[in-house]
Structures are given as C-alpha cells and as structure tokens.
Structure 1
Amino acid sequence: MADGVVYNRIAVLRADRGISRRELAEALGVHYQTIGYLERGEYSPSLHLALRIAEYFEVPIEAVFSLRPFPRLGSEARK
C-alpha cells in the first residue's frame, strides 16, 4: 500500500450520474479544479469533504474512497 495515497471512484460515480466536475463542485461548494485533483489522486480530501462527497452520491464512504486501489469494474463478477 502506497503511503498517503487515497484512491477514489469520484469519476465513476460522476459519470454514472451524468454530472460534470463543475456541477459536482457547485453542489459541494468547492472549486471545480478541486474535483479534478481529487479524481486524479493529486489531492486527498479532508474528512469533512470526503463525507460530503459520499453523502452527495448517497453511498457509504468506503464506496468512494479507499487506501487500496479499487478492483477494475467487472473483475469482482469474474471471481
């Protein structure tokens, strides 16, 4: 496990809902570039922001953020 890296599924959740980075940023009250930094793993969110993102998507925080890379979509079904 890489030290300090927080993996996320923000881009997947955003695409699933059909919303832009700008729309998500406006809903969360952050700059749209912050969403890009988060999605690329260049920035780890505060706990408060992470909880707000999970709440926005109506999923558990573990469905959005992880200390380990998420499995590729479909790989869980193949097991």
Structure 2
Amino acid sequence: MSDKLNEIPISEIIGNTIAELRKSTGMTQREFSKTVGVSESSIAHYEQGITVPSADMLLKYANYFDVNIDYLFGRCRCKVKYSDLNSVLADHMTISDMINVISKLSSKQKNYLYETIILLENEKNKY
C-alpha cells in the first residue's frame, strides 16, 4: 500500500468511497439514507469523515454496492462486482482463481499478460 494512502485518515477514505459509490448510483444523501435505514445526517457525517460507520453498516454498504469490504477501506480499487469474483469463466476458473494464479507470476510474466490483455481489448474494439 502506498505511503500516501497511509497518511489519509481511515474515516476520510471510507467517507470518500461511500460518497463516490452513492453518487455513482445517482442517489442523494437523503435517498441513500432511506435505502440503508440511517439518518441523512449520519450519511453526511460518514461522507465528510466525521464518523465511521459501524462494522455492521460497512458490511451493509459493501453488500448494497456489491463491492469487497476492502474497497470501502481503500485497500482494493477493483471495480469488478464482488459477486462476480466467483463467476465461472474459462475452464471452470473463477476471477478469484485467476487472480490467485496471476499473483504468483513473475514480473516479466505479469507484463506479458498485461500486454496480451491490451491486445485483446484493442481487437475487441475493432469489431
């Protein structure tokens, strides 16, 4: 994890992430507060980094937005829906399985894989 991330208070990281996720749905703080069953002022305090939601509320937000709880803490910036990580892809492998395999590759192999993915992405955009 970067040193810069460690300098930011966890309340700010969580608050900014909740605000980002809420805004991505187009909801106001009022609408979101009704959806998750807390006061509008609680949502405002969370988003401003004044208070941190309880563990139960963090889990509720992670489930609602379908993200990993680490995403709320700024530890993972993966935009893949959390529920999709266990989706079966090619040869009965899940995204999680693939991540585990990739994490064990050498830097050279990871770079090769990255270049291959970019080539595939460019090919997809041609059609």
TM superposition score category, shorter chain reference = 0.7 to 0.9
Secondary structure of the residue aligned to 1:38 is helix
Q: Name which structure has the greater RCO, CA cutoff 8 Å, separation 6+.
A: 1
Q: What is the distance in 2 between the residues matched to 1:52 and 1:36?
A: 17
Paired residues, what number? 68
4+ runs of 1 displaced by more than 6 Å? none
What amino acid is the match of 1:25? S
Task: Report the RMSD for the aligned CA atoms in angstroms.
Answer: 2.1
* Higher helix proportion (structure 1 or 2): 2
Q: What is the distance in 1 between the residues matched to 2:27 and 2:73?
A: 19
For 1:10, the equivalent position in structure 2 comes to 18
| Higher Rg | 2
Q: What is the distance in 2 between the residues matched to 1:24 and 1:65?
A: 19
TM-score, length basis structure 1 = 0.73
Q: 2:51 aligns with which of 23, 27, 43?
A: 43
TM-score, length basis structure 2 = 0.47
